[in-house]
Chains A and B, each alone.
Chain A
Amino acid sequence: EVQLVQSGAEVKKPGESLKISCKASGHYFTSYWIGWVRQMPGKGLEWMGIIYPGDSDTRYSPSFQGQVTFSADKSVTTAYLQWSSLKASDTAMYYCARLDASGSYPDYWGQGTLVTVSS
């Protein structure tokens, strides 16, 4: 069974750094793209970008380029999303999702990680 289990909720202050995780199981981790999606409070879904754990090929949506960093550790089948300096506007739910075998659409989703940034 394919599962994506994300790390728990975080409360941070502006300017702090953060790395959240997405632990994958039930499929060949290095053979499927992983995507990240942001959902701000009460808003819709925003595609942040994707990473291919096999070779760490990474593609960011223009709005998120330079704002976040994707990474993956094959040894623990885990993908990561990190910020070097959080802003209040980063407050949101963040989902990871596995893309299908062709690397097109997300077919399995994590449960989400709520990130709250407040002074």
Chain B
Amino acid sequence: EIVLTQSPGTLSLSPGERATLSCRASQSVSSSSLAWYQQKPGQAPRLLIYGASTRATGIPDRFSGSGSGTDFTLTITRLEPEDFAVYYCQQYSSSLGKFGQGTKVEIK
């Protein structure tokens, strides 16, 4: 069973700063099987990135995904006020995908 570990648990940044979020898998994950989601309080998750690096429809280009094997990264180049949220990675290389525990990006 693949375990996804996200770090840091909380990231305190100011608007305009760059955010770098990490997702590490306990064993190699196909790059085509890694997604990132954003969840704001009281809302359902929203798909940001799939296939490790492909932005979903309507996602601004300040969001980018990269990585392969066991190490994946979500980068937000310039944080906007609406980007402060919790971010989850998910692997779906099996039909029973697993989520990481989440990284909270909070306003410093």
Nearest-neighbor residue (CB-CB) of B94 within chain A: A59
Contact of A105 among B46, B92, B101 (CB under 8 A): B92
A71 to B106, alpha carbons, bound, how many Å?
38
Is A83 positioned at the interface, with any CB of B under 8 Å from its CB?
no
With contacts A100-B50, A105-B35, A105-B90 taken as known, whether A95 is within 8 angstroms of B96 at the C-beta atoms is no
With contacts A45-B45, A111-B44 taken as known, whether A105 is within 8 angstroms of B95 at the C-beta atoms is no
Nearest-neighbor residue (CB-CB) of A95 within chain B: B44
Query: How many residues of chain B get a CB closer than 8 Å to chain A's CBs?
Result: 21
User: A18-49 CB contact bits vs B (8 Å, 1 = yes)?
Assistant: 00000000000000000101000000111101
With contacts A95-B44, A105-B35 taken as known, whether A46 is within 8 angstroms of B96 at the C-beta atoms is no
Q: Are B99 and A104 in contact (CB under 8 A)?
A: no
Q: Are B50 and A112 in contact (CB under 8 A)?
A: no
Q: Are A47 and B50 in contact (CB under 8 A)?
A: no
Q: Are B95 and A59 in contact (CB under 8 A)?
A: yes
Is B7 positioned at the interface, with any CB of A under 8 Å from its CB?
no
Is B65 positioned at the interface, with any CB of A under 8 Å from its CB?
no
With contacts A105-B90, A109-B45 taken as known, whether A45 is within 8 angstroms of B99 at the C-beta atoms is yes
Query: How many residues of chain A get a CB closer than 8 Å to chain B's CBs?
Result: 25
Return B83 CB to nearest CB of chain A, in Å. Answer: 19
Nearest-neighbor residue (CB-CB) of A52 within chain B: B95
With contacts A47-B96, A61-B96 taken as known, whether A106 is within 8 angstroms of B102 at the C-beta atoms is no
Interface residues of B in 54-68 (CB under 8 A from A): 56
Is B81 positioned at the interface, with any CB of A under 8 Å from its CB?
no
A61 to B97, alpha carbons, bound, how many Å?
9
B residues contacting A by CB (< 8 A) are 33, 35, 37, 39, 44-47, 50, 56, 88, 90, 92, 95-102
Further contacts, 18 of them, CB under 8 A, given A59-B96, A105-B97: A44-B88, A44-B100, A44-B101, A45-B45, A45-B99, A46-B99, A49-B96, A59-B95, A60-B96, A95-B44, A105-B35, A105-B47, A105-B50, A105-B92, A106-B45, A107-B50, A107-B56, A109-B45
